[in-house]
Structure 1
Amino acid sequence: MPYVSTDLGSSVSYGAGEELSFELAFTAPEAGTYYLLGALYDGGYNYIVGSLFGVLLSPDGSYVFNSGEMTQPWDMGESEEKTLSCRFVFTGTNVIVGLFLMKMTGDAPSFGNDIEVGSTSVVLESPEQEPERLDLTALVGLVAVMGLAGAAMKSM
């Protein structure tokens, strides 16, 4: 049983700066304090420097969002589950988002000392570019005018 999962699948179409809304679920394997960390990776699974982020609860408590400054700890019992509505925004696309469930070993989150108990990832792919469509109305009108002008020239 995975300890952390999303409803996104393995990849999703995403444009930089858009809000990525999804459900994230995690389960505590044992009683303790847990938090979520995330990071961005390039297509070769190389960490993108400076992309580490925490997950914070919104002021009204209705969703969580990604934060480059802090993360939200949750005290949980053994096998306790949480499902969170997420609203994340990233500045890039064609990247891999890694999400990690961490168990705190001290009084505050410490990425270097805490224990990773689960992870999941999703590829953010650039949206397909729609081919530019030509408005034919103006072109048809121009052809009609040119045809009329040509017919008028012949009659002179």
Structure 2
Amino acid sequence: MSNRMSVLSRRLGRFAGGFSFATVAFFSIGLYAAANTKGQVVFLFAGLVLVCLFASFFLWLAHGFAWAMIPEKPAEALKPADALKPAEAMRPAEAMKAAEPMKPAEPVKPAEEKKPAEAKRPAEAMKAAEEMKAAEEMKPAEEKVIVSEDPPDAKYTITGRRVY
């Protein structure tokens, strides 16, 4: 990973340097154009300066982060395969310390006996309760008699006020 980070850091540094150079170049050309002409060329170079300045800032920032990710010590080289110990030189598995002998498993305790489920109520009893609720809901509501406060021959103005 250190190699990848160093390559990334170098590339970001080169891009950042290139954009920094372009910023200075476009700024110089823009100043020259402003002194000699009054056209819109000045605005073109001002825009290019801003774009390059923006890009170079973030490229330098990314370069700094990539540079900070490079570890100080390079990764240790892996040992070559012939430097490893041959299999015969290693201790056999029997010579290694034996682990404590395994204890016999504890006998499984029988689970508590399950109680039988409660007997279900007959469906008829449930239907009777539902019918009673339905009968209560179907009672006719108390009827309100709408009493008109105004007599049928009352007269009103255009705005809705009653004329007495």
- For normalisation by structure 2, the TM-score amounts to 0.22
Question: RCO higher in 1 or 2 (8 Å CA, sep ≥ 6)?
Answer: 1
Which structure is larger by alpha-carbon Rg, 1 or 2? 2
Give the structure with the larger helix fraction. 2
- For normalisation by structure 1, the TM-score amounts to 0.23
Give the structure with the larger strand fraction. 1
